[in-house]
Amino acid sequence: MVRVRFAPSPTGYLHLGGARTALFSWLWARSQGGRFVLRIEDTDRARHDEASAEAILESLRWLGLDWDEGPEVGGDFGPYFQSERQAIYRQFAEQLVARGVAYRCYATAEELKAARDAHTASGSKAPFKYPGIWRDRTDWPEHQPYAIRLKVDERGQTGWNDLVKGRIDIPNQTQQDFILLRSDGLPLYNFGCVVDDLSMKIDIVTRGDDHVINTPPQLLIYEALGHEPPRFAHVPMILSQSGEKLSKRHAAVSVLEYRDAGYLPEAVLNYLARLGWSHGDQEIFSKEELIRLFAWENVGTSAARYDAKKFLHVQATHLRRQSPQRLAELVRAAIRSDEAVDARWLADNVTLDKAIATATSRATTLEEVANTIRYALLPRPHYDSSAVAKFLSEAACALLVEFAALLESLPTWELGALETATQDWLDARNLSMKALAQPARVALTGQSKNAGLFEILDVLGLERSCDRLRSAAQALRSGAEEAPL
């Protein structure tokens, strides 16, 4: 059975690059009927942040990238935490020492500094390497702290066939006797990674190509342990459109920022998948399609370029693919915390469905949908002062009062009949639709930009529409611009 893992460090939010790495692993596991393992690499206690760990879990849950095993927490699987596995790392490290392929290093900080200073004074252009002070010694002192280092043969080279990048070979002369276990008992990244991947039976390691440098020492550790390594897939980085490393200057890079901005999780997954992977010319994928079609040979070897406009297009496409029922659920969740919203209208399925239908053809995110339809869920709209000043003149207000009377006189409340009656009424007065539509839109919604006039009337219904038309006109006529305008 295929076993893959995602192993973030809890030193910040889950960024887009990390989410894409998790996605590729998850897709492969799901497509092969395998297991997706989540491990939090929290051994760097100076940089470890509990809030970051929880944000990573929250991001994965929102994206729907569920993991298949781990310590049980409250009836559900939690992730593995490296900080809870120190005894396992110590056991593996001491096994390597006992076999003579690793050794205890008692070198002090002062000794290492002196060796580094001597290297610098020699004028050598080569990078400093640990000079093997304790490599061949066995006169280990009692009751003194020590690190454990791997004995590295600097001859030859170490290589692997990468699932994304093809064959990679690195000369061993770039290596040194690197530390496996620090004197405080915590593993360094490469050792902890290998022990965990080995004990968790991981057979494909997916990560960013900035980790290529870590693969040779990890392969040397597997060799020393006498185990076959997993396969590796090093995924190219995500760059800005200008080719720079992606940062907050170029885009919102935290997954949760996109959630809070009203993006759908399936849209984020779709866009991330297409950042470095392709299936012909297809751009829009459901999660089920991604699972069925994902293959390593279709992952690109060059860095992907982030495109905010394309991302928004993918998001808008997924938004319009949602069923009315799911959109209503999502909008309710997005707007429920708004204390100004009248719970009666939020619970009214007919009003909410009509309002959402008027917004989705123009909006691109859930946040935009919520902002567009907010007028329908308030007891009174919140008026934009510039829209009021531009469109609610004294003459316009008089027209709104007459329009309300017309609406109340109609025998049926049906969009087609409503539009026909209104146009006939305007023609009789030699007025254009423009003379009515903008003032009425402002009176009904508080904004000059929203859905069409008759769509808005249909959402609000006869009673609320007439009430708002008259209230806006009355407030202006009395000079009470602040109530309710």
Q: For residue 181, list its beta bridge partners.
A: 148, 187
User: Cβ distance 36 to 55 under 8 Å?
Assistant: no
Is position 449 annotated as part of the catalytic site?
no
Candidate list 201, 245, 248, 449, residue with the active-site label:
248
Amino acid at 396: A
Could you tell me the two tokens for 111?
């000794």
**Residue 367, CB half-sphere, CA atoms under 13 Å: how many?**
9
**How is 95-147 classified by DSSP, letter by letter?**
HHHHTTSEEEE---HHHHHHHHHHHHHTT--SPP----TTTT---PPTT---E
Residue 32 phi/psi, 5-degree rounding, is -105, 5
DSSP state of 213: G
C-alpha closest to that of 342 among 381, 303, 383, 379: 379
C-alpha closest to that of 93 among 216, 178, 206, 213: 178
Whole-angstrom CA distances from 382 to 271, 358, 374, 442 are 35, 19, 9, 10
Report the run of H or E that residue 66 belongs to, with start and end: none
Could you tell me the two tokens for 307?
């495109």
User: How far is the C-alpha of 216 from the C-alpha of 214, rounded, in Å?
Assistant: 6
**Which residues are the active-site residues?**
248
